[in-house]
Structure 1
């Protein structure tokens, strides 16, 4: 039997108290304002609208994230994904445990607390690799609800298309040839996309737990589908936390560490966290495009100048660095910084 601290968070709630390993010392800084990062229109990016590209560059270099609308994914599919996520996490524990993570595998059902030091996240997850198709480990893909596999397949294809257009638009926003970022992550035979379903159970001690501690993402970018009703995501900017508002049809796009590296620090990988609601469960789905670990990632040569010298080392398999330093108080990306 798993130690209490490593049980799914949902199951801990049955006991009626929060284990000490989850209790955090949280500072109350008063009300958290809403962020005012730009909303980007995907249809205008596709047509290379210069004003939208300028807005995109500004959002990525200041906030590191934005809300994407008119992305072409039907609201019915977004709602279906949200509903099937809720249905999966509502299944009996013995059904969900058929898909439990094994050994050091990222994939499967459970939580990440076994690889963390310090206090734990109030979060359960289902983590699946969706690209390339030949690398899918279907033993971790739930058969209940029945629509799960087909719906995730459809959604992953749609978000891959969104990723490809975004990476090209991000290149153009920096006045680069449009395939410069796409070359790093655009090969669907090699490159990887993970899907991470997050479940944040309600908690009566919500002011003492954190859904996900402050962190950046180790991906190229992150495409996040938020809960349609329950807020929880917060982003740090200039030392101040901001709430990310819910726009039901929008996708939240984050710069990941690997895009910050490739852009030589022009685009910012934002520090973000998830807070817990005392009365309502919350779900989200993050799609995480990653380069093949054998590809060398580093600042693009066009973005290295006298005014902006090379800020980061070139390296393969940033994921190894990211997980090795996950428990550190510092951002993992600092490990690959060059001290100019």
Structure 2
């Protein structure tokens, strides 16, 4: 039986031919003076149709399927509550993410996700579906992240992995 990572990588490999493989390295906003045309999105957003905050979905809501569908269709994301994950663990994960994304670009590139890979630093694999380049960077983790994290913190990866 395949692991989740193996199943994802298998499905991902089948779709690789459809996409531009050079869209892995995120833009380094610290080093540019003007926004490159590759990152300009010309679609107009109807600001009246957007509420002021991301939807909050309670895992215990009896209408969760409907609520998640609506939040996903209108926002593409939502905040999940009622999951039972301790707040301290959430804060620790946020702090590690901050620590990771504050690293200099050259350092983060040591863990660059290969064009045919599913994990590592770079634009998220789904960004290849977008018509323009996206304004974010990501660090995709599936299964154990130790192999990727050790590239960033060879002597201190345990801090990222075990707390």
TM-score calculated relative to the size of structure 1 = 0.33
Q: Does 1:95 align with 2:107?
A: yes
Of 26, 39, 44 in structure 2, the residue corresponding to residue 27 of structure 1 is 44
**Does the CA-based 8 Å contact 1:87-1:145 persist in structure 2?**
no
Question: Which of the pair is proportionally richer in helix?
Answer: 2
Q: Distance in 2 between matches of 1:93 and 1:56?
A: 39
Of 52, 58, 70 in structure 1, the residue corresponding to residue 82 of structure 2 is 70
**Does the CA-based 8 Å contact 1:106-1:127 persist in structure 2?**
yes
Superposed CA RMSD? 3.3
Of 142, 147, 150 in structure 2, the residue corresponding to residue 129 of structure 1 is 142
Q: Distance in 2 between matches of 1:97 and 1:82?
A: 21
Q: Distance in 2 between matches of 1:145 and 1:13?
A: 26
**Gapped regions of structure 1 (runs ≥ 5):** 46-51, 131-135, 152-340
Q: Does 1:140 align with 2:148?
A: yes
**Does the CA-based 8 Å contact 2:121-2:138 persist in structure 1?**
yes
Task: Name the CA shift for 1:96/1:146 in 2 (closer, same or farther; >3 Å).
Answer: farther
**Does the CA-based 8 Å contact 2:120-2:148 persist in structure 1?**
yes
Q: Does 1:105 align with 2:141?
A: no
**Does the CA-based 8 Å contact 1:101-1:110 persist in structure 2?**
yes
Distance apart, 1:145 and its partner CA: 6.5
* Greater Cα radius of gyration, structure 1 or 2: 1
Q: Distance in 2 between matches of 1:7 and 1:36?
A: 28
Distance apart, 1:110 and its partner CA: 1.2
Distance apart, 1:79 and its partner CA: 0.8
After superposition, residues 89-238 of structure 1 pair within 5 angstroms as 89-112=101-124, 115-116=128-129, 118-130=131-143, 136=144, 138-141=146-149, 142-143=152-153, 147-150=159-162
Of 70, 82, 97 in structure 2, the residue corresponding to residue 85 of structure 1 is 97
Q: Does 1:8 align with 2:26?
A: yes
Distance apart, 1:123 and its partner CA: 1.1
SS in 2 for 1:16: coil
Question: Which of the pair is proportionally richer in strand?
Answer: 1
**Gapped regions of structure 2 (runs ≥ 5):** 1-21
SS in 1 for 2:91: helix
Distance apart, 1:138 and its partner CA: 3.1
Higher relative contact order (CA 8 A, sep 6+): 2
SS in 2 for 1:78: helix
Distance apart, 1:102 and its partner CA: 1.8
